[in-house]
Chains A and B, each alone.
Chain A
Amino acid sequence: MQIARCMTPNPVVISTTDTLAAAKALMDKGRFRRLPVLEGGNLVGIITERDLRQHRGYLDSTRVDAAMTSDPVTISPSISAEDAARLMLEHKIGGIPVVDQGKLVGIVSTSDLLRAFLNIVLATQDIVHKR
Chain B
Amino acid sequence: VLILNWMSFPVRTVKPHDSVADARALLAEHRINQLVVTKGNQVVGIVTDRDLRDAPETAAVSASVAAGAGKAVLPDPGGIAVEDVMSANVMALRPQDSVEHAARLMVKERIGAVPIVEKGKLWGILTRSDILRAFLSIAASNGKSRGADKRASKSAPRAKPPRKPGSAARARVHARKA
Q: A residues touching B (Cβ–Cβ < 8 Å)?
A: 16, 31, 39, 42-45, 49-50, 53-56, 58, 61-63, 65-68, 70-76, 79-83, 85-89, 92, 94, 99, 102, 110-111, 113-115, 117-118, 120-122, 124-125, 127, 129, 131
Which chain B residues border A73 with CB–CB below 8 Å? 158
If over half of A's interface residues share one DSSP class (helix, strand or loop), that class is named, otherwise mixed; here it is mixed
**CB nearest to B93 among chain A residues:** A131
Given A114-B106, A122-B100, CB of A82 within 8 Å of CB of B136: yes
Contacting B103 at CB < 8 Å: which of A16, A79, A117?
A: A117
Complex Cα distance, B1 from A61, in Å, reads 49
Residue tally, chain B, CB below 8 Å to A: 46
> Do A86 and B131 have beta carbons less than 8 Å apart?
no
Which chain B residues border A39 with CB–CB below 8 Å? 165
Those of B65-80 within 8 Å (CB) of chain A: none
If over half of B's interface residues share one DSSP class (helix, strand or loop), that class is named, otherwise mixed; here it is helix
Which chain B residues border A89 with CB–CB below 8 Å? 129, 132-133
